[in-house]
Amino acid sequence: MIEAELRRHPRLVTALTRLTRRLDGSFEQLKADVYLADGSHLHVNEVYVLGELRKYAYYRLSPTGEIIQGWDNAPHHPEITSHPHHLHRENMVYPSPVRSLADVLTLLEEELQV
């Protein structure tokens, strides 16, 4: 799943350095570290139940490990109009249209102009 999506963005994604998969019955968790064209990297964490994406967290970090931005669907910001989906940026939380890794990669291609 993750590898196929990354291959769709060859100008953005420069390397996949870690990919782990945990499977427990109908529960599957995928984690990955992905390096991007600007030198930043993306931490990916997806949880599927019966093949459906239920939880996600995608965090982009600078080369020095500082969080640049992150998207997740943890239900801890009910005040956000796109709840539970939201964006973390500069110590603030914003509504987010992101619902998947494909959304994040497309958005980052636009932001980084690659």
CB 103 within 8 A of CB 111: no
Could you write out the DSSP letters of every residue in 44-74?
EEEEEETTEEEEEEEEEE-TTS-EEEEEE--
DSSP 8-class letter at 18: E
Whether pLDDT at 1 is above 90: no
Average pLDDT for 73-91 = 96
Task: Quote the mean pLDDT of the chain.
Answer: 96
Q: What is the pLDDT of residues 15-44, one digit of tens each?
A: 999 999 999 999 999 999 999 999 999 999
SS3 26: coil
Distances (CA, A) of 38 to 11, 25, 92, 104, 113: 10, 38, 23, 15, 10
Q: Give the model's pLDDT for residue 38.
A: 97
Q: Give the model's pLDDT for residue 25.
A: 93
pLDDT band at 46 (very low <50, low <70, confident <90, very high): very high
